[in-house]
């Protein structure tokens, strides 16, 4: 079953959280980031072309204009393929692990899977980001040498950056599954 809610990120943009409940042991959260707007695209393109035209009137070399078009196209393609993230997905499967997928605007997907044996806990942490203090959700990984130590902190939803209300939703569901997983794994 699926349900969708709308939240906002730390800059005020609109985010959509889609939650899919496959079974009591499998849950998926999909957070969609604000799309690229026509206004920003037009603004960037116009500024690049104005700069190129200004250079052209100075240098009288028409290669500058074709180079500007080339740069704009390549820059847009590179931005869509490497930088702009369309949505981020978190899939938790009890007794298997946690999977994070980032889908870029060009369709490329990059996935990381962490096995349940390596997960210590999922917590909401505070961080100083530029001039703000923000909350973020992160996975704490176990230290193989120390039984209760933490070896690494893996932050989630890094490009969507939702606010605390959204994080609390995700946190509650994750904790349900982790508690269930701990209960079943500690039994002999």
Cβ distance to other proteins smaller for residue 9 or 94:
94
Cβ distance to other proteins smaller for residue 2 or 126:
2
DSSP state of 130: T
Q: Which of 150, 91, 80, 85 is nearest to 119 (CA)?
A: 150
Told to check if 18 binds other proteins by CB under 8 A, we report no
Rounded-to-integer distance, Cα 146 and Cα 120, Å: 12
Dig out the tokens for 74 from the structure: 């390549």
Q: Which of residues 78-117 bind other proteins (CB under 8 A)?
A: 91, 93-97, 99, 101, 111-113, 115-117
Extended beta strands in 97-170, E state: 97-104, 109-115, 119-129, 132-142, 150-155
Told to check if 175 binds other proteins by CB under 8 A, we report no
Cβ distance to other proteins smaller for residue 38 or 145:
145
Pairing of strands 26-32, 85-93: antiparallel
Told to check if 183 binds other proteins by CB under 8 A, we report yes
Told to check if 155 binds other proteins by CB under 8 A, we report no
Q: What minimum distance in Å lies between the beta carbon of 14 and other proteins?
A: 26
Rounded-to-integer distance, Cα 8 and Cα 166, Å: 8
Longest dimension (CA), the chain: 81
Told to check if 121 binds other proteins by CB under 8 A, we report no
Told to check if 47 binds other proteins by CB under 8 A, we report no
Phi/psi of residue 84, each to 5°? -80, 115
Query: How many residues does the structure list for the chain?
Result: 188
Told to check if 152 binds other proteins by CB under 8 A, we report yes
Told to check if 165 binds other proteins by CB under 8 A, we report no
Chain positions contacting other proteins, by CB under 8 A: 20, 22-26, 28, 91, 93-97, 99, 101, 111-113, 115-118, 142, 144-145, 151-152, 180, 183-184, 187-188
């Amino acid at each position: 079953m699926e349900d969708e809610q709308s939240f906002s990120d730390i800059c005020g943009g609109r985010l959509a959280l889609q939650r899919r409940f496959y079974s009591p042991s499998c849950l998926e959260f999909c957070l969609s980031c604000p799309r690229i707007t026509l206004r920003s695209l037009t603004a960037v393109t116009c500024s690049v072309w104005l700069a190129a035209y200004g250079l052209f009137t100075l240098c009288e070399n028409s290669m500058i204009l074709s180079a500007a078009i080339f740069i704009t196209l390549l820059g847009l393609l590179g931005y869509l393929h490497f930088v702009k993230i369309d949505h981020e997905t978190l899939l938790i499967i009890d007794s298997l692990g946690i999977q994070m997928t980032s889908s870029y605007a060009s369709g490329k997907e990059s996935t990381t899977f962490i096995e349940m044996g390596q997960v210590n806990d999922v917590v909401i942490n505070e961080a100083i980001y530029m001039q703000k203090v923000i909350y973020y959700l992160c996975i704490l990984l176990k230290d193989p040498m120390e039984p209760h130590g933490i070896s690494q902190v893996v932050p989630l939803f890094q490009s969507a950056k939702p606010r605390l209300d959204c994080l609390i939703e995700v946190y509650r569901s994750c904790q349900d599954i982790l508690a269930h997983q701990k209960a079943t794994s500690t039994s002999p």
